[in-house]
Amino acid sequence: MISRLLAIAGAGVTLIGIVMLLVLAAQAGWFGPELRVGAGAAFSSALVYIGSRIFGRSGGRVGGIAVAATGVAGLYLDVVAVTVIYDWLEPALGLAAAFGIAAAGIALAVSWRSQPMAALILTGVAVCAPVVSGGITLSVIGFFAVTFIATFPAQLGRDWPLLNVARTLPIVAATLLGIAEASSAGVGIGDAVTLLIVASVVAAFGLGSSLELLRRNAADTMASMMMALGVLPILLVGNLFERWTLALVELLVAVTCAATIALARWLPVHARIVLSLVGAAALLQAVVVPTAVELRPLTLLAVAAAALVLAQKISSKIAYFLGGAFAALGTIGFVVVAPVDGLMDADYAAGHFGVVVAGLLLVAVAAGLVLVAVQLGIVEQNVQSCWVFAGVVSLYGLTSATVALGVGAIGGTTGFIAGHCAATIGWMAVAMALLIMGLRSEKYAHTALLAGLSLTAAAVAKLFLFDLVALDGLFRVGAFIVVGLLLLFAGTRYAKVFADREAEQV
């Protein structure tokens, strides 16, 4: 253990020396550029040779690995300096040279069967390359991208999770920092497109490489974690563009995740969860960012409804919980757009037709959450409590929808009153439907009867405590007459049913 710590410390200090040779010597004007670059390349090559000689000796494995890894990282940094600082190489040639050095260094680590060596090379490059180039620039991001790609073959057939982290983390961190800097300082469309291309390449290659690793080893949870890490830049890079461009990018990400889950049926559960969460995050941005505030609850609830339908069709708990998450966000957004104050005061009432549709959709989603949960076995106990909660949410959605319809169609106080009149009648109509269900269904008789009577009591209470004061004219008369007739119908219906049952028993 002590030997490894000393070797790692030696590698780090030596790399710092190489960086000083390439950067500080240039700033101080020591030697000439050719001499600095040549000395760095010669010194790094010598370290690789010396490391290979040490590795072949007895007890020289640790020292040889550290020395050779330092040499490989030094050669890589030399190429970065030649490309970025001195402009002696075209960017494409510099990236190609870096690709070759990284691939050769990792190949040496593979031949020596040393995951620590591979990780040490990549860590040294990740720490020192930004120092050589003067910060996180597009050039550094490009160098990290080619390293990310060049080092993947070493993972095939080997359980090297540390290498997966060492090759993924630098490019993701550098790209995220580049996006953050571009977002705060503002960049031209050219740099924004470059970052979009890099983020797309990282996401696509990260997804593909992780799928290959998971195909070979379904228990490789690190592959799933790095797959999630690799898509972070593409989830954020859209902020550099107009909102519709962002929506298109994120929609493509969501579709890709959904297609991967659908086509790769062999994926383990942890990978499916990761892809589902990534797709949900992308879809959330795609539907929220370009949408007006008044329509956001509608779009969120529409996604929730689609997810619940999918969960019911394919019996997927993952789809159900994602639908529940979108339903929760949609409900919160609905309360923001159609607040409680809007149900009490006409001055605050919402009159947007998006609220009408969203309110009706909220009723359907609330009921769907309970129905699908029971079908999938997610809720086996306290089903009645779930129905009560769904009923409260549905009442709020239905009431808000009818009030918004009245305000939007008629306008002003008159529309507000008409909406509340329709809401009260709607409450009573739903109560009647539940009571009739209780008479016809033995399985749900108790639950339907309890819900119907509770809603009837709520409708009557609203009629006397709110409508009697808030409504006026024909709307008040109409509400009382319709509710009264429905109560008479319910009483008559129940009396007939119970009389028929007593007659059958006799």
Length of the chain counted residue by residue? 506
Contact between 368 and 347 (Cβ < 8 Å): no
16 pLDDT band (50/70/90 cuts)? low
Domain borders along the chain are 1-135, 163-290, 291-401, 410-506
By C-alpha distance, which of 71, 173, 151 is closest to 107?
Answer: 151
- Answer whether 0.85 is exceeded by the pTM: no
Check whether 251 has a pLDDT greater than 80.
Answer: yes
Which of 24-33, 146-155, 227-236, 309-318 comes out lowest in average pLDDT? 24-33
Instruction: Compute the C-alpha angle 364/367/368, nearest 5°.
Output: 80
> What is the predicted pLDDT for the residue at 328?
93
| Residue 349 backbone dihedrals phi, psi, to 5 degrees | -70, 140
According to the 3-state scheme, what is the secondary structure of 122-187?
A: HHHHHHHHHHHHCCCCHHHHHHHHHHHHHCHHHHCCCCCHHHHHHHHHHHHHHHHHHHHHHHHHCC
* pLDDT top residue among 383 and 274: 274
Question: Residue 225: is its pLDDT beyond 80?
Answer: yes
Quote the CA–CA distance of 2 and 9 in Å, as a whole number.
11
Q: Is the pLDDT of residue 31 over 60?
A: no
202 pLDDT higher than 90: yes
Q: What is the pLDDT at residue 424?
A: 81
pLDDT range class, residue 248, cuts 50, 70, 90: very high
Q: In a 10 Å sphere around its CB, with 0-12 CB exposed, 13-18 middle and 19+ buried, how is residue 440 labelled? A: exposed
Angle between helices 161-185 and 189-216 (to 10 degrees): 160
In the block, tokens 């000439």 appear at 32
Task: Answer whether residue 13 shows pLDDT above 60.
Answer: no
pLDDT digits (tens, 9 = 90+) for 128-176: 888 888 788 888 899 999 999 999 999 988 888 999 999 999 999 999 9
CA 153 to chain centre: 28
Contacts with 177 (C-beta within 8 Å, 6 or more apart), sequence order: 136
Q: Are 372 and 319 in contact (CB under 8 A)?
A: no
How close are the terminal C-alpha atoms of the chain, in Å? 91
| Percent of the chain surpassing pLDDT 70 | 87
pLDDT range class, residue 417, cuts 50, 70, 90: confident
At residue 12, does pLDDT exceed 80? no
pLDDT of residue 47: 79
Residue 152 CA to residue 481 CA, distance in Å, equals 75
> How far is Cα 56 from Cα 68, in angstroms, rounded to an integer?
12
What is the mean pLDDT of the segment spanning 43-65?
Answer: 77
By the 8 A CB rule, do 164 and 223 touch? yes
Report the SS3 class of residue 52.
helix
At 414 the pLDDT is 78
Reference 427, options 461, 404, 383, 450; nearest CA is 461
Question: What pLDDT score was predicted for residue 410?
Answer: 80
Return the pLDDT at 59: 67
Report the C-alpha gap between 482 and 457 in whole angstroms: 15
Kindly indicate the confidence band of residue 505, based on its pLDDT and cuts at 50, 70 and 90: low
For residue 169 the two structure tokens come to 């983390």
pLDDT tens-digit profile of 57-73? Answer: 766 677 778 788 888 88
6-20, 231-245, 482-496: the lowest-pLDDT one: 6-20
Find out whether 320 and 372 touch, Cβ atoms under 8 Å.
Answer: yes
As a whole number of angstroms, the distance between CA 465 and CA 475 comes to: 15
Q: Which two tokens stand for residue 378?
A: 């997610």
Closest CA to 285 of 271, 294, 296, 272: 296
How much is the mean pLDDT over the chain? 83
pLDDT winner (highest mean) among 126-135, 443-452, 494-503:
126-135
Q: Are 310 and 319 in contact (CB under 8 A)?
A: yes
Q: Which of 163-167, 241-245, 443-447 has the lowest mean pLDDT?
A: 443-447
pLDDT of residue 18: 57
